[in-house]
Amino acid sequence: MSGSVTPRNGEAAPVRADSGNQYKALQDKLRRLVQAMNSVSGELEALLQRTRDNARRAGQAADQIARAGLDAKYPELTRAVSDALTGADVQVRRLNEMAAQVGSATSEVRATHARLYQQLDNVRSGRKEATPVPGFFAH
Protein backbone atom coordinates (compact mmCIF):
# COMPACT_ATOMS: atom_id res chain seq x y z
CA MET A 1 0.00 0.00 0.00
CA SER A 2 1.42 3.36 -1.00
CA GLY A 3 0.07 5.34 1.95
CA SER A 4 -1.87 7.77 -0.21
CA VAL A 5 -5.61 8.11 -0.44
CA THR A 6 -7.09 7.64 -3.88
CA PRO A 7 -10.69 8.61 -4.66
CA ARG A 8 -12.95 5.62 -5.24
CA ASN A 9 -13.78 6.72 -8.78
CA GLY A 10 -10.07 6.85 -9.66
CA GLU A 11 -10.19 10.53 -10.59
CA ALA A 12 -7.75 13.09 -9.31
CA ALA A 13 -8.60 15.23 -6.31
CA PRO A 14 -11.49 17.61 -7.00
CA VAL A 15 -9.30 20.67 -6.43
CA ARG A 16 -5.62 20.91 -7.30
CA ALA A 17 -3.40 22.87 -4.95
CA ASP A 18 -1.47 24.87 -7.50
CA SER A 19 -0.46 28.48 -8.00
CA GLY A 20 -3.59 29.43 -9.98
CA ASN A 21 -4.98 31.71 -7.33
CA GLN A 22 -6.38 34.55 -9.37
CA TYR A 23 -9.88 35.53 -8.33
CA LYS A 24 -11.82 33.42 -10.84
CA ALA A 25 -9.54 30.39 -10.46
CA LEU A 26 -9.84 30.48 -6.67
CA GLN A 27 -13.63 30.91 -6.83
CA ASP A 28 -13.80 27.89 -9.12
CA LYS A 29 -11.60 25.82 -6.78
CA LEU A 30 -13.81 26.71 -3.82
CA ARG A 31 -16.95 25.90 -5.82
CA ARG A 32 -15.56 22.49 -6.79
CA LEU A 33 -14.56 21.76 -3.20
CA VAL A 34 -18.10 22.52 -2.01
CA GLN A 35 -19.47 20.21 -4.73
CA ALA A 36 -17.04 17.46 -3.72
CA MET A 37 -18.03 17.75 -0.04
CA ASN A 38 -21.72 17.59 -0.98
CA SER A 39 -21.06 14.55 -3.16
CA VAL A 40 -19.05 12.74 -0.49
CA SER A 41 -21.78 13.51 2.02
CA GLY A 42 -24.26 11.59 -0.12
CA GLU A 43 -21.87 8.68 -0.45
CA LEU A 44 -21.27 8.65 3.30
CA GLU A 45 -25.02 8.61 3.95
CA ALA A 46 -25.27 5.49 1.77
CA LEU A 47 -22.29 3.92 3.58
CA LEU A 48 -23.90 4.75 6.90
CA GLN A 49 -27.10 2.95 5.91
CA ARG A 50 -25.19 -0.10 4.64
CA THR A 51 -23.12 -0.23 7.83
CA ARG A 52 -26.24 -0.08 10.00
CA ASP A 53 -27.94 -2.78 7.93
CA ASN A 54 -24.89 -5.05 8.10
CA ALA A 55 -24.56 -4.55 11.87
CA ARG A 56 -28.23 -5.49 12.31
CA ARG A 57 -27.85 -8.55 10.07
CA ALA A 58 -24.71 -9.68 11.90
CA GLY A 59 -26.58 -9.40 15.22
CA GLN A 60 -29.44 -11.47 13.81
CA ALA A 61 -26.98 -14.04 12.48
CA ALA A 62 -25.35 -14.28 15.92
CA ASP A 63 -28.78 -14.96 17.45
CA GLN A 64 -29.52 -17.63 14.83
CA ILE A 65 -26.14 -19.28 15.37
CA ALA A 66 -26.72 -19.34 19.12
CA ARG A 67 -30.16 -20.91 18.65
CA ALA A 68 -28.64 -23.53 16.35
CA GLY A 69 -26.61 -24.80 19.26
CA LEU A 70 -23.17 -24.37 17.70
CA ASP A 71 -20.05 -23.83 19.75
CA ALA A 72 -20.35 -20.62 21.83
CA LYS A 73 -17.37 -18.99 20.10
CA TYR A 74 -19.29 -18.61 16.82
CA PRO A 75 -22.10 -16.40 18.12
CA GLU A 76 -19.52 -14.43 20.12
CA LEU A 77 -17.40 -13.82 17.03
CA THR A 78 -20.43 -12.88 14.97
CA ARG A 79 -21.63 -10.50 17.70
CA ALA A 80 -18.14 -8.97 17.73
CA VAL A 81 -18.58 -8.23 14.01
CA SER A 82 -21.92 -6.60 14.78
CA ASP A 83 -20.32 -4.50 17.53
CA ALA A 84 -17.45 -3.47 15.23
CA LEU A 85 -19.91 -2.39 12.55
CA THR A 86 -21.87 -0.41 15.12
CA GLY A 87 -18.62 1.34 16.09
CA ALA A 88 -17.88 2.03 12.44
CA ASP A 89 -21.37 3.49 12.13
CA VAL A 90 -20.51 6.09 14.78
CA GLN A 91 -17.28 7.02 13.00
CA VAL A 92 -18.92 7.24 9.56
CA ARG A 93 -21.56 9.53 11.05
CA ARG A 94 -18.81 11.76 12.51
CA LEU A 95 -17.00 11.80 9.17
CA ASN A 96 -20.21 12.77 7.41
CA GLU A 97 -20.74 15.62 9.87
CA MET A 98 -17.19 16.81 9.27
CA ALA A 99 -17.65 16.73 5.50
CA ALA A 100 -20.79 18.84 5.90
CA GLN A 101 -18.88 21.30 8.09
CA VAL A 102 -16.06 21.56 5.56
CA GLY A 103 -18.58 22.18 2.78
CA SER A 104 -20.37 24.83 4.81
CA ALA A 105 -17.15 26.57 5.84
CA THR A 106 -15.91 26.50 2.24
CA SER A 107 -19.16 28.13 1.09
CA GLU A 108 -18.63 30.87 3.66
CA VAL A 109 -15.01 31.36 2.54
CA ARG A 110 -16.14 31.57 -1.08
CA ALA A 111 -18.79 34.19 -0.24
CA THR A 112 -16.31 36.23 1.81
CA HIS A 113 -13.70 36.01 -0.92
CA ALA A 114 -16.27 37.21 -3.47
CA ARG A 115 -17.37 40.06 -1.22
CA LEU A 116 -13.78 41.23 -0.72
CA TYR A 117 -12.31 40.72 -4.18
CA GLN A 118 -15.02 40.50 -6.84
CA GLN A 119 -15.21 44.24 -7.46
CA LEU A 120 -11.44 44.46 -7.77
CA ASP A 121 -11.47 41.57 -10.23
CA ASN A 122 -14.20 43.28 -12.24
CA VAL A 123 -12.07 46.44 -12.48
CA ARG A 124 -8.91 44.55 -13.38
CA SER A 125 -10.68 42.32 -15.90
CA GLY A 126 -12.40 45.28 -17.57
CA ARG A 127 -9.26 47.25 -18.39
CA LYS A 128 -7.36 47.07 -21.61
CA GLU A 129 -4.08 48.00 -19.90
CA ALA A 130 -2.09 45.40 -18.01
CA THR A 131 -1.96 45.83 -14.26
CA PRO A 132 1.13 45.30 -12.13
CA VAL A 133 1.62 41.91 -10.56
CA PRO A 134 0.82 41.66 -6.84
CA GLY A 135 3.69 43.00 -4.73
CA PHE A 136 5.06 45.21 -7.53
CA PHE A 137 4.84 48.40 -5.45
CA ALA A 138 6.32 46.75 -2.34
CA HIS A 139 9.90 46.82 -3.75
Enclosing domain of residue 44: 23-122
| 12 within domain boundaries | no
> How far is CA 9 from each of CA 14, 34, 100, 110, 136, rounded to the nearest angstrom?
11, 18, 20, 26, 43
Residue 92 near residue 99 (C-beta atoms within 8 A)? no
Looking at the predicted structure, is the pLDDT value of residue 1 above 50?
no
What is the average pLDDT across 31-36?
94
Q: Number of structural domains, the chain?
A: 1
Which segments of the chain does DSSP mark as H helices, in order? Answer: 23-67, 73-126
| 137 within domain boundaries | no
Q: Which residue has the higher pLDDT, 90 or 133?
A: 90
| DSSP states along 17-32 | -SS--SHHHHHHHHHH
| 130 within domain boundaries | no
| 60 within domain boundaries | yes
| pLDDT tens readout for residues 95-124 | 999 999 999 999 999 999 999 999 888 888
pLDDT of residue 86: 95
Between helix 73-126 and helix 23-67 the angle, nearest 10°, is 170
| 133 within domain boundaries | no
b/e string for 115-126 if b means 16 or more Cβ within 10 A? eeeeeeeeeeee
| 136 within domain boundaries | no
pLDDT of residue 2: 47
| pLDDT tens readout for residues 49-74 | 999 999 999 999 999 999 999 899 99
Q: What backbone torsions phi and psi does residue 58 show, to the nearest 5 degrees?
A: -65, -40
| 17 within domain boundaries | no
